A and B are shown apart, each in its own frame.
Chain A
Amino acid sequence: MQKYITQQNLNTLIDTLIASGTRVVAPRMSAGIPLYEPLDSSVEMVTDQLPRRSAKEAFFPVCEEIMSYEKEGQQIKLTDIDPARFPETVLVGVRPCDAAAIPVLDAVFSWDYKDEFFLERRRKTTVIGLACTTADDACFCTAVGLSPAETRGSDLFLIPLNGGGFACQSYSEKGEALISNNSALFSEPNNAAPLPLAAPQADKIDLKKVKSWLDGHFEDTLWDGIAVRCVGCGACAFVCPACHCFDIVDEGTEKAGKRRKSWDACGFWKFTHHASGHNPRDLQPKRYRNRIMHKFKYYDDKFGQTLCTGCGRCVRVCPVGIDIAAIVEEISKK
């Protein structure tokens, strides 16, 4: 279904949704930085900056409780979280690189084990993507086969038009339902030209070639060369829209506490540290190798996709300037 919506009507849509008790999550300024957060009003939305964290946290929270325990005498009472209580959510203004990562996450969270925490949030969330008009030299969506107008992962996709407003196309039942439930706010498509979209300066990389090199180079001097500088933080994985490793910890006292699930990262020394004291990935290059292997080989082996959407966040935040785009390009030329 193709439609047109003015900026004002988009704001009305957001405010109507908020008023009806739907959680609307969109980029807004939070203590000085743009982040995807629940809006109190449509005026808070900022779309000219890439949020520092990806939209994955709408489905895969930074930290969430998955169970609580309480000791009553000799009895231990366990309370599960009921995913039915997760709020209905509309994600607005999602960058194409963030939206495209959602199907990537779907694959892993509904594979051998169905992760209800993820899947229930996913079911209850409608994703409104927004074509991207600003890029910097860390952006490389075009290198991994996506583009600033990529619609993958969006239920509804907006393209900003010359003269204001957005061309609006639905890509799923959820998207269509959103239009039909608010049909007064949408009008028939007009033929205004779209605003010039972002143009990341990154040529398409042959990911098949990258994978085939990775297939045969688990041991290679490349890893030391690129990752000896890695300091072992989790910044790259945490800002990544597609990284999905998590840790589960019990926190509390003997009497009562909670079991929590929170983001984890393969860059951490602790990530593979065994209880015995042994660590199979004892040095940083081995950990960084896993990051590249997982993104461009293991995930492809299992799900036929690449675990990278080229948002460039890891390139921007890396404390020591490790540039995944440059590394993958280098591998593709081997």
Chain B
Amino acid sequence: MHSENQKHDFEPKIIAFVCTWCTYAGADLAGTSRMQYPSNVRVLKFPCTGRIDPVFILKAFQQGADGVLVSGCHPGDCHYIAGNFHARRRFAAFRKLLEFIGVDLGRLAFSWVSAAEGGKWVEVVTDLTEKVRAMGPMVEFKDLALEEQWSGVINTPELQEAYDAI
């Protein structure tokens, strides 16, 4: 936990896809309990982890996320009975695919955080942030986004400048 604000050279962008019933409420509890956790995390609220499409994770990385967290209700606690069971299988498969493509799985975390687990939310977010901070920026997707087929390349100093500015 961060008791005081530290200065870091690199502040990772963490995107958290959370379910509204458990993890979002858990994060809310962390806030109302005045627990401190890294402000690197951007929370996106979904009805259920079952609604979180793997393509969202892909999109997050493409748009510049350095780490992604998916979090929802503990098994058996799903508001929609089985959404998180489906999500569990889907993400078990998807992380294997990403790993095979060459994405370091250290950047992708999954957790069950209930509405009562404000402390666990803080722990999960802090762990992922520090892990990703140690790994450095996620450059793979960022580099890819700037690449062109050779025929479409226009070599200009401006493009390089734009890249360096990201």
Contact = CB atoms under 8 A, between A and B. Distances in A.
A85 B155 CA distance: 8
A64 B152 CA distance: 4
A62 B155 contact: no
Interface stretch (B10-18, B19-27, B119-127, B143-151): B143-151
Interface string B128-166: 000000000000000000001111101110000000000
Interface in A87-114: 87
A81 interface: yes
A57 B152 CA distance: 9
Contacts of B63: 253
A63 B154 CA distance: 12
Contacts of A85: 154-156
Interface residues on A, range: 10 to 19
Contacts of B148: 63-65
Contacts of A87: 155
Contacts of B154: 65, 81, 85-86
A38 interface: yes
Interface string A52-65: 00000110111111
A62 B156 contact: no
Interface residues of B, number: 9
Contacts of A253: 63
A253 B149 CA distance: 22
A64 B149 CA distance: 8
B155 A61 contact: no
Interface string A71-88: 000000000010001110
A58 B155 contact: no
Interface string A277-301: 0000000000000000000000000
Nearest to A87: B155
A63 B156 contact: no
A50 to B, nearest CB: 18
B150 A38 contact: yes
A60 B156 CA distance: 19
A85 B154 CA distance: 7
B149 A61 contact: yes
A323 B149 CA distance: 29
A244 to B, nearest CB: 14
Nearest to B154: A85
Interface string A160-182: 00000000000000000000000
B129 to A, nearest CB: 24
Nearest to A68: B162
Contacts of A58: 151
B161 to A, nearest CB: 13
A150 interface: no
Interface string B35-69: 00000000000000000000000000001000000
A37 interface: yes
B156 A61 contact: no
B152 A63 contact: yes
B166 to A, nearest CB: 11
B162 to A, nearest CB: 9
Contacts of B149: 57, 61-63
Interface in B84-138: none
Interface in A23-54: 37-38
Contacts of B152: 61-65
A62 B152 CA distance: 7
A60 B149 CA distance: 11
Given A57-B149, A58-B151, 14 more contacts: A38-B150, A60-B151, A61-B149, A61-B151, A62-B149, A63-B148, A63-B149, A64-B152, A65-B148, A65-B154, A81-B154, A85-B155, A86-B154, A253-B63
Interface of B: 63, 148-152, 154-156
Which 10 A-B pairs have CB atoms at the shortest separation, nearest pair first?
A: A61-B151, A64-B152, A61-B152, A57-B151, A62-B149, A63-B152, A85-B154, A38-B150, A63-B149, A37-B150
